[in-house]
Amino acid sequence: MTGITKSKFMLSAGLLALFCALLSPAARADGISGQGDLTITLPTISGMPGQQFTVFGTLTNTSSNTLDFADDSVTFNNPPLSGFADVAFNAPPFGTAPTSIGGNSTLTSVDLFTVFIASNAAPGPYDVNFYDLLGGTDANCALDLTLCGVQLGTIPFTVNVQGPVTTPESGTLLLLASGLLAGLVIIRCAAQ
């Protein structure tokens, strides 16, 4: 491919990938034998190399059944990313996170997982990552995973690693200021 054709191809492929990511629906699980539907919604996930942050999401149960959480996991398929799932870890007795979601209800700002971006991560999108939430309709899910090992919901996600923000060097600003000053002097002299 020539340089121009290759750059047009890369631009087209990038725009197509962005378009597909924006149109991707939230993941939906059909629950336990039709007993519940759980939708997981995530925000846009972005960070800088070397950064660690928590991802908060929204869980929506569209069934009339209470769904109890048993376990969750996060899978990163890109080497500069790592992390761990938070829902089961932050539940009592270790924390105060919710252990279930009532029927026909929504939980917002739920601490779902933590992301670590390696300090050597190149800027760009890192996709094909997954968050999974397991559970069931038994209130003892957290105590016995064999009671509630059903996948309530899963969602793929992309982490956008941002590049460093560049600031102009002081020499560049000095050159710009002197050019503007010279232009003003020339205009003033021409006007006299």
Domain 18-187 has CATH 2.40.360.20: no
pLDDT of 39-67, one tens digit each? 999 999 999 999 999 999 999 998 888 89
How buried is 191 (Cβ within 10 angstroms: 0-12 exposed, 13-18 middle, 19+ buried)? exposed
Sheet holding 45-47, edge to edge: 45-47, 150-161, 124-136, 67-75, 100-101
Residue 105 has pLDDT above 60, yes or no: yes
Q: Say what the pLDDT of residue 150 is.
A: 83
How buried is 135 (Cβ within 10 angstroms: 0-12 exposed, 13-18 middle, 19+ buried)? buried
Please name which of 151, 178, 135, 162 lies closest in space to residue 29, comparing C-alpha atoms.
Answer: 151
pLDDT of 127-157, one tens digit each? 999 999 988 887 776 666 666 778 888 999 9
Which of 17-26, 70-79, 93-102, 147-156 is the most confident on average? 70-79
> Does the predicted model carry a pTM greater than 0.95?
no
Domain assignments of the chain as residue spans, ordered by start: 18-187
